[in-house]
Structure 1
Amino acid sequence: MIALLTVLSCVNFALSGNLVQVLQEQRLTTLVSLVQKAGLADALLGGTFTVFAPTNQAFEKLPAATLAYLSNNTQALADILKYHVVPGTVMKSAASNELQVASLSGNKIRFNIYPFNNMAVTVDGVKVSTFDITASNGVVHIIDSVMIPPVGDIVTQLNDNFDFTTLVSKVVQSGLATALKGDNLTVFAPNNAAFAKLGAAAVQKLENDPNMLRGTYIDNVLLYHVIPHTVYSAGLFNRERIRTLDTNAEPLQVSISSGSVYLNLYSRVTEADVSATNGAIHVIDHVMVPDRYYLNLVVG
């Protein structure tokens, strides 16, 4: 019996084919076409690799202009595709929450595992739908979106976007910029319009907080938007309570309705899963205030 199992194992291995053949067998035709266009097919045969392989539908979700740009710019296309390839073999069993592995592009890919969402596994927020398709020179995991390499850490990305000038100014004022450069963080980032909704009087109180050094208002209002681990939308569930970095660790209440995610019932996530080198950003349309400050800051 042992000898038979050994023979069958060897036959299965022999039939698995190399990485390019496995991608073809899985009918990932768009990916295979782009790999060939970027001149990377031979590279995938020159070693042992783990490929995070987007489906055809994943590429269709890209904006048409983005796909057209990649199709006409082989260097940019190659950089994106290399971001989906990791040297060596990383099986599902080796994945752990917040594990980061270096891709061929030089950027790191972050794993997250969500036990309360049927053990969903994401790479840079993209859900892995099929694991451990073995090839003679590596393994393929199928993913449902195309991963885009992050362009910087959380602070850098907020600072480079004019929609967050108010938030960035408050982060600088409170001296939290260094803290937001730590690893494994999630920021629910209110845009400028969100601060405008808070009202001029409340914003003025934040700016002139007499107890700022003790963190009475500004520090804790900002930290109430920060989670001390990486949470992508695939890891959120209805009625979840997420602990924040607020001094009292006051939690946020998650509500999911008709495909939209709300925090504390009133703050809606308008853009989700913006990957940063040190975590994730979700854009929200209202500033959230801890309950203990609400009457004084917003009403009073």
Structure 2
Amino acid sequence: MLRVLCFTLALHAVLGGNLVEVLQSNGQSTLVSLVQKAGLADALTHGTFTIFAPSNDAFAKLPADLLASLGSDVNALTNVLEYHVVQGSVRKHDVSNEAQLATLTGEKVRLNFYSHNHATTVEGSRITHFDLQASNGYVHVIDTVMLPPEGSIVDIVAGASELSTLLAQVKAANLASALQGDALTVFAPTNEAFASLGSSTLHHLASNPALLKEILEYHVVPQTDYSAGLYNREYKRTLDSHHDHIRISVSGGSVHVNTAKVLKADIAATNGVVHIIDQVLIPSRYHGSSIFGKK
């Protein structure tokens, strides 16, 4: 009996304690305090779990009003925290690119591996430390607090007033069902971006559904590309019929797609991600066309 007890204590020491103790010893003090506030600490010591654990700096990046709101609403706080927890032990080598893991809320989180910069993300949040082993699971430290997506890509577009023209164009081109596919990245032009094309160009697109479809598909990449996975002078194939490329430019804190600036990045969706941009993207083969205001 004494030998078993000694072995158990030794194992506990090697693994660094249970999940809550590993979080505490690794400096995730904000997360630990919120877990305790939500009454989840005991639950996380009974069972086997994997936690995608936001760092203190990750919580500090949240808007102050949102953090305060979570602090005063235990149900909302519990939902956000449980969105960071997966049942069972999941290590880095256990998952593949675009893998989706069910969280304790029932919603899924998506993992992406980017080979060019060796970044790994979960719902776009970069994993900074992997496989911190506890006696009842694993902790992966992330640099951004994850918030459950507000629906699919189509739902995201439909819910954003600044993207109402894009939504109308998607419907006109019968692309809504295509945008319900999985693992997609959409560069979404604002209403102002479409307006800048001019009324004659918009009318021409409206009367040429095949061309409209081609232009819209040029804004869609058939893989999930969060900001952490984008790099300067990167070329990505799109969904249009010619599989044209878009060019990514990264300089300082700015990201451009061709000449369009990303205004708002990393809007997570259940089937991918949306980045809002300030111009409509036009494939290079149309750059000499009069319909886009060129000679």
Residue correspondence of structure 1 range 279-298 to structure 2 within 5 A: 279-296=272-289, 297-298=291-292
Q: Which residue of 1 aligns with 2:67?
A: 67
Describe the shift of the 1:60–1:11 C-alpha distance in structure 2 as closer, same or farther (beyond 3 A). Answer: same
Name the TM-score, length of structure 2 as normaliser.
0.94
Q: Which residue of 2 aligns with 1:194?
A: 193
- Mapped to 2, the partners of 1:42 and 1:191 lie a distance apart of 46
- Mapped to 1, the partners of 2:12 and 2:263 lie a distance apart of 46
Q: CA deviation at 1:200?
A: 1.9
1:37-90 CA-to-partner distances (Å, cap 9, x unmatched) read 111111111210000000101000000110011001000000000000000010
Describe the shift of the 1:37–1:9 C-alpha distance in structure 2 as closer, same or farther (beyond 3 A). Answer: closer
- Mapped to 2, the partners of 1:258 and 1:45 lie a distance apart of 42
Q: Which residue of 2 aligns with 1:238?
A: 232
**What's the secondary structure of 1:134's corresponding residue?**
strand
**What's the secondary structure of 2:71's corresponding residue?**
helix
Q: Does 1:57 align with 2:57?
A: yes
Matching residue's letter, 1:241: Y
- Mapped to 1, the partners of 2:9 and 2:288 lie a distance apart of 70
Q: Which residue of 1 aligns with 2:87?
A: 87
Residue correspondence of structure 1 range 1-300 to structure 2 within 5 A: 11=10, 13-15=12-14, 16-117=16-117, 119-209=118-208, 212=209, 215=210, 217-264=211-258, 266-296=259-289, 297-299=291-293
- Mapped to 1, the partners of 2:187 and 2:8 lie a distance apart of 48
Unaligned runs of 5+ in 1: 1-6
- Mapped to 2, the partners of 1:136 and 1:33 lie a distance apart of 20
Describe the shift of the 1:42–1:246 C-alpha distance in structure 2 as closer, same or farther (beyond 3 A). Answer: same
Q: CA deviation at 1:14?
A: 3.4
- Mapped to 1, the partners of 2:249 and 2:262 lie a distance apart of 11
Q: CA deviation at 1:294?
A: 2.9
Deviates more, 1:40-49 or 1:9-18: 9-18
Task: Count how many residue pairs are aligned between Structure 1 and Structure 2.
Answer: 287
- Mapped to 2, the partners of 1:288 and 1:45 lie a distance apart of 50
Matching residue's letter, 2:55: T
- Mapped to 2, the partners of 1:70 and 1:258 lie a distance apart of 32
Matching residue's letter, 2:120: V
**What's the secondary structure of 1:110's corresponding residue?**
strand
Q: CA deviation at 1:193?
A: 1.3
Q: CA deviation at 1:9?
A: 12
Q: CA deviation at 1:262?
A: 0.5
- Mapped to 2, the partners of 1:286 and 1:24 lie a distance apart of 46
Q: CA deviation at 1:12?
A: 5.5
Unaligned runs of 5+ in 2: 1-5
- Mapped to 1, the partners of 2:243 and 2:7 lie a distance apart of 55
- Mapped to 1, the partners of 2:170 and 2:207 lie a distance apart of 14
Deviates more, 1:189-198 or 1:281-290: 189-198
Q: CA deviation at 1:8?
A: 10
Deviates more, 1:15-24 or 1:129-138: 15-24
Matching residue's letter, 1:293: Y
- Mapped to 2, the partners of 1:8 and 1:200 lie a distance apart of 76
- Mapped to 2, the partners of 1:202 and 1:12 lie a distance apart of 69
- Mapped to 2, the partners of 1:141 and 1:9 lie a distance apart of 24
- Mapped to 1, the partners of 2:93 and 2:12 lie a distance apart of 19
Deviates more, 1:135-144 or 1:191-200: 191-200
Matching residue's letter, 2:148: P
Q: CA deviation at 1:153?
A: 0.3
Matching residue's letter, 2:44: L
